[in-house]
Amino acid sequence: MKQCRTIFQDGDHRWLAIVRDPNRAGHVIDTNEYLIESGGDSLLCDPGGIEIFPAVFSALCAETDPNRVKAIFASHQDPDIISSLALWLDFNPGLKCYTSWLWSSFLPHFGGTAETFASLPDEGGSIPVGDLDLEAVPAHYLHSSGNFHLYDRGAKILFSGDVGAALLPPEQDDLFVKDFDQHIQYAAGFHRRWMGSNEAKRRWCERVAVMNIDMLCPQHGAIYQGEDVARFIDWFDQLTVGIL
């Protein structure tokens, strides 16, 4: 079963990371899901694929009431991001799914009605969760053509989707990056191949470099914190992407 770890807490404002499933089938990529709680409501970032729903759901239930999940944030349209949507809707048919306008007519293939989807314009926007106003930060072409990250100004946490992702070997299951130089080798190939545009990458780096970020939380691999956040942004800025 996946573990549910609290990575930030300030009163009822909390971030939970649902990570590392030892029973995961080897052919399914490991994913991190993040739950942001505030004022009795919660939002789930990239809830994951349909096949890993039992693992995510049971880990989440161990920590919190699944009925409180009032919204889902889908950074983009991939099946490992959002194909479990129909099952989350089983628990809350009124749940809102925030995603790029580009995908709001594609994601209904995974479930939901016209009322389920809240389309985000290209420039982003705010997403209310309890007492919070989370910010959808544009990250188009990194890697999806309609792609957003989610910033929590209060917690100083940026959910960065596939940016920062690392395909770690099974024995490296730390929640946080411990040794940046050793870690980044597992991110390099992924970023070169999955990120399609150097121009888009440069814009993203410029955008997030001026944000106050304590933790950068990717969908795969370990979380960057403290100085490793700026270190990662610099590394990414230098990397040539969109090549085989």
Residues that bind other proteins (CB under 8 A): 1, 50-51, 53-55, 57-58, 61-62, 65-67, 86-87, 90-91, 93
Shortest separation between residue 23's beta carbon and other proteins, angstroms:
9
Nearer to other proteins, 91 or 101 (CB): 91
Shortest separation between residue 175's beta carbon and other proteins, angstroms:
21
Nearer to other proteins, 57 or 141 (CB): 57
Nearer to other proteins, 68 or 153 (CB): 68
Shortest separation between residue 54's beta carbon and other proteins, angstroms:
4
Nearer to other proteins, 65 or 131 (CB): 65
Shortest separation between residue 75's beta carbon and other proteins, angstroms:
22
Buried b (16+ CB within 10 A) or exposed e, 189-226: ebbeeebbbeebbebbbebbeeeebebbbbbbbbbbbe
Going by their DSSP bridges, the two strands 148-152 and 3-10 should be labelled as unpaired
How far, in Å, CA of 42 to CA of 57, rounded? 14
What DSSP designation does 27 have? T
Shortest separation between residue 90's beta carbon and other proteins, angstroms:
5
Nearer to other proteins, 87 or 230 (CB): 87
Contacts of residue 72, defined as CB under 8 A and 6 or more positions apart, other chains included, come to 43, 44, 45, 47, 82, 85, 88, 95, 96, 97, 98
- Spacing of C-alpha 4 from chain mean position: 15
